[in-house]
Chain A
């Protein structure tokens, strides 16, 4: 048997480490954070601060007292979880709800499995879904974006575009009627500011973050793009079959947590497949499940459930979609 040889130094030292990667993700999230602070002012800041602080605290306490190991909060992953969780909640949520969400996200979804790198499910999404199931009243109480600082104190509430459409469809209206009745569903509104969770209101801000992540080579585009393509094609087929019952593909891409989820949550290293082929399968699965839930399920939005379901399938994908072994002959 041939020995594995290590060439003599100097070795090339990659400058990527968890901390740097997480820093890039945080930078990519900044446009969305800025937009949410711009529209929701103090309530968005409270959510962000409470989310980040409680995520760090929970991770520190568990690491210190349950694992009795070295603190891992320096890798900044708890900060990313905190920000994502805050961006995923309705802007008017009380501060304690994000503390509960952080305990579930970090405590249940991450540390129970052994910390960063071991978790099966995306922590921020587990936190969000737990809150959605636990506090459905608070979690569907959306404040309409009311342009400037402080204005959120007496901001009006509204339904998210997806909820609005679902509700009206249930009442027997057709899609074209709904769009004619609600000017808030126009594309310009959807692109810049619409009713929704703190981080999903502006599609542009999220797309800027996506471009940054790609430019810095933090993520590969495969997962995100295959989710978009699947959503576009699948909802497009439904829309062509019956435009009165189903919304058009562009609307589906711009609404709900589609962008936030497909750019920042589905691409989480730990909980997504390792190979590019696996990533495409993963993305297609998320796209299909999301549209199934949106169009036929009882919840108006399904991407968080879709990502979590596909998270569970990742080990299976990794097992069957392996990269070709090095030096194995091509057939």
Chain B
């Protein structure tokens, strides 16, 4: 598969949110606004690319029986690094995403890609896969966040477009599930899956 194909695959055919339905906890929890969704998506992408590359590099020397523990140590370290960096340089975003940053460790997407892709492919291919899946995740989260923010808070990327309160249910978890479900329907209809 071409390098470009590896990237687009993550966005459409193996879109982690709408097609693979992975990482639902951060999806519902952080998409209360488009910006938050994008921030969470990019943070996950960062971890995903690095973990994919690292794991692809070390996979050949890791005995099969301790694959998972080694991967978890690598992923957890990367997430902690990300946490330090965000705390230092983008404290506002860190304050909003809060507890969901440490949860990236247990996001199924990351371990899933490590197991399903990175440990069997080259470092470069794994990086491409990480970029693709990460972009797909970020894009999905941004779209969900956009819809929820628009309906729930009457604003677009933090800019209010009308006075008054929106439909609060969309900011809360139940609305998140509704938006996710209908967007998934739309996604499948458009991509004819």
Contacts and interface: CB of A to CB of B under 8 A. Distances in A.
A133 B178 contact: no
Interface string A114-147: 0000000000000000100111110000000000
Main SS class of interface, B: helix
Interface string B108-136: 00000000000000000000000000000
B167 interface: yes
A100 interface: yes
A133 B172 contact: yes
A137 B175 CA distance: 18
Interface in A60-106: 100
A137 to B, nearest CB: 7
A136 B178 CA distance: 19
A133 B170 CA distance: 9
Contact of B168 (A100, A108, A134): A134
B174 interface: yes
B178 A134 contact: no
B165 A137 contact: yes
Contacts of A134: 166-170, 175
Interface in B34-85: none
- Which of A108, A133, A136 has the most chain B CB within a 10 Å cutoff? A133
A272 B167 CA distance: 29
Interface residues of A toward B: which range? under 10
Contacts of A133: 168-169, 172, 174
B169 A130 contact: yes
A136 B167 contact: no
A186 to B, nearest CB: 35
B178 A135 contact: no
Nearest to A132: B169
Contacts of B175: 134
Contacts of A135: 165, 167-168
Nearest to A100: B167
Interface in B141-188: 165-170, 172, 174-175, 178
Contact of A108 (B165, B166, B170, B178): B178
B73 to A, nearest CB: 40
Interface string B6-29: 000000000000000000000000
Contacts of B169: 130, 133-134
Contacts of A130: 167, 169, 174
Contacts of B168: 133-136
Contacts of B178: 108
Contacts of B174: 130, 133
Interface of A: 100, 108, 130, 133-137
The 5 closest A-B pairs by CB, nearest first: A134-B167, A134-B169, A133-B169, A134-B168, A130-B169
